[in-house]
Amino acid sequence: MKILVPVKRVAALEDDFQIFADGRDVDPECLNYDLNEWDSFALEQAVLIKEAASTDVQVVAVTVGPEPCDEILRACLAKGADRALRVWDDSMLGSDPIAIARVLAAVAGRQAPQLVLTGAQSSDHGHATTGIALSAALDWPHVAVVAGLKYAAGDARATATRELEAGLLQDVELVLPAVLTIQLGINKPRYASLRAIKQAAAKPIEVLALSDLGLAASVVGEAGSASRVRRMVIPEKGRAQMIEGTVQQKAQRLAQIIREYKAA
């Protein structure tokens, strides 16, 4: 069986950064990149299933992005993934999570996994949308924010424990194939050994174009996206204000602040 693990190369801001003149993105020279933390837990869960299996299990890591994304795929190979795929085409620039999910669904259709494990969200944009949109595109059952998983390779069903509000947990049984978005803390991601890193550097990374997936340029990029970034701004720094006086005076002052804010 196959387990597909979509992963993302995420950006983190340096202390000093610049936004492009058009206001739509940050200068990449001001960014540091790494494997998305949530995806590390999803990958580890896939590898744990493989290691516990009595049958053959193949873990396939996939990302959507240009050549620099090979770095995170090699990290996945070093941590136990068996294969790595990267999908890219210049027409994918500006793709939102829905368009990315459309691409990943095409990859899943090509790879025919029994299970898709992806991070619950990304640490840069935090949309928490791609995994759920992927399940919709595939018309597969899904469970989001999975904090526990009972599943043995080859089983037709899995039981996922998902996080709810106020610290509540819920067990959900679902039929496979399915998509699960993995929460932090479900396991303890391993560190890659120096030997595994060297071996991963020599492994091939399969690169796919839109044409390989049977997709048109019109379904990705801004043209195929349901949303787009209009502008980015750096929030103005404000200061907290302590409201003094009696309870009635505090309530009156708070009401005045709200009226002033609504009028602004």
- Do residues 27 and 131 touch, judged by C-beta distance below 8 A? no
Whether residue 139 has pLDDT greater than 80: yes
The pLDDT of residue 264 is 65
The pLDDT of residue 78 is 98
Q: Is the dihedral of CA 199, 4, 128, 48 positive or negative?
A: negative
pLDDT > 70 in the chain, percent: 100
Q: Is the dihedral of CA 41, 47, 51, 55 positive or negative?
A: positive
The band of 224, judged by pLDDT with boundaries at 50, 70 and 90, is very high
Higher pLDDT residue, 70 or 125?
A: 70
How much is the average pLDDT of 110-132? 95
Whether residue 29 has pLDDT greater than 80: no
Residue type for position 153: A
**What single string gives the DSSP state of each residue in 234-248?**
PPPP----PPPS-HH
pLDDT tens sequence across 93-104: 989 999 999 999
The pLDDT of residue 150 is 97
Whether residue 220 has pLDDT greater than 80: yes
Whether residue 11 has pLDDT greater than 80: yes
The pLDDT of residue 132 is 96
How much is the average pLDDT of 134-141? 97
Q: Where are the domains of the chain?
A: 2-219
If phi > 0 it is left, if psi is from -120 to 50 it is alpha, else beta; for residue 166 that is: left
What does DSSP assign to residue 26? B
Q: What is the mean pLDDT of the chain?
A: 93
pLDDT tens sequence across 72-100: 999 999 999 999 999 999 999 989 999 99
pLDDT > 90 in the chain, percent: 79
How much is the average pLDDT of 115-126? 94
How much is the average pLDDT of 26-40? 88
pLDDT tens sequence across 169-197: 999 999 999 999 999 999 999 999 999 99
The CATH class for the domain spanning 2-219 reads: alpha beta
The angle formed by the CA atoms of residues 52, 57 and 59, to the nearest 5 degrees, is: 105
The pLDDT of residue 204 is 96
The pLDDT of residue 24 is 79
